[in-house]
Amino acid sequence: MRWWKMLGLAGIMGVAATGVVIARAERRRRAYTPEEIKVRLRERVDQNQPEGRRS
């Protein structure tokens, strides 16, 4: 039965690590001002449009 405890502990640690990664990404995402977000989105749209469709 000891290996069940280890498996459970590893699962809990995996969930905790995933939570940390998600929290860091969310903090980074919220650090942008609305103007920075607009600029980044416009740059991304310009990069993804075919050459003939750029305005």
Q: Is the CB of residue 44 less than 8 Å from the CB of residue 52? A: no
Mean pLDDT of the chain: 88
Express each pLDDT in 4-15 by its tens digit.
899 999 999 999
Confidence (pLDDT) at 49: 85
DSSP assignments along 24-51, one per residue: HHHHHHHTS-HHHHHHHHHHHHHHHS-G
Q: What CA–CA distance (Å, rounded) separates 48 from 41?
A: 11
Residue type, 10: A
**Taking a C-beta distance cutoff of 8 angstroms, is the pair 40, 32 a contact?**
yes
pTM listed for this prediction: 0.48
What confidence score (pLDDT) does residue 38 get? 94
